[in-house]
Structure 1
């Protein structure tokens, strides 16, 4: 029985991968589309009630759409943290109230400590993004890694820093 399931899933993959890839590529770009396409089929395989799905291609489309939404939200969140980190690098104005200045200094120290504790590659990526305002593509070229690796390292760095700075 597992061979029959594998064969039918393989057929589903072969018949739908091109359309799903084009859909994903149009929304997130070629590199991320490959990852999301793979994740779409992994999630479908893991879905225990997949055999009960009335329209498997539509189900795959829904999974892919949700993955696009998740990636978009994650990127917005990462960008917000990057912007917050860049803003934290700017000293408060002289007319800032003492309480705000103290809070800023405390958060700056927390952020600097969090960055210092990051793994080397995550720290490099974060510093290039925050302090040199480089794009993912520019960081990837400079460090000799893929844009996807840059995104992953940046995501890890942001999550770790966010958990430390309150």
Structure 2
């Protein structure tokens, strides 16, 4: 059963978002670079945003850690350098390439640019808090101290920023799907004529 975007955003804001600092800390301790940590966290949120329902998630914290772990493992696998004499063995296995196509890479970059624009468009205080928490990985306490606000303000503004971004992304996705549907419909009409 598909859930509304508002239900998913509320779940992410309440059950996932509070654990981001812990996930970032765990990734940092595991030896991941700051850029890799950002990539893993961003990809985790993208996968959550793509879900039609979160009803199957019993424990948000565990789901967040497990998804981040799986993404980190995928990144490690992709980054390995393979000796040239192993390439023929790999080719003989007929393994499907799990690397994204050039189209998906371009789409991913476009989506990242869109998210960056959405972050830039957040209200000033919300953008400051969201950037410090989500991009720089500061804890709620560190962010509150740096900006001279309460931790409650940091928590509310961080969740607000994520909700605004996820809502804008879901609206963009719905518009894109409608445009594809219209294009398909026009193509079908032209074929009949």
TM-score range, shorter chain: 0.3 to 0.5
Greater relative contact order (Cα < 8 A, sep 6+): 2
Greater Cα radius of gyration, structure 1 or 2: 1
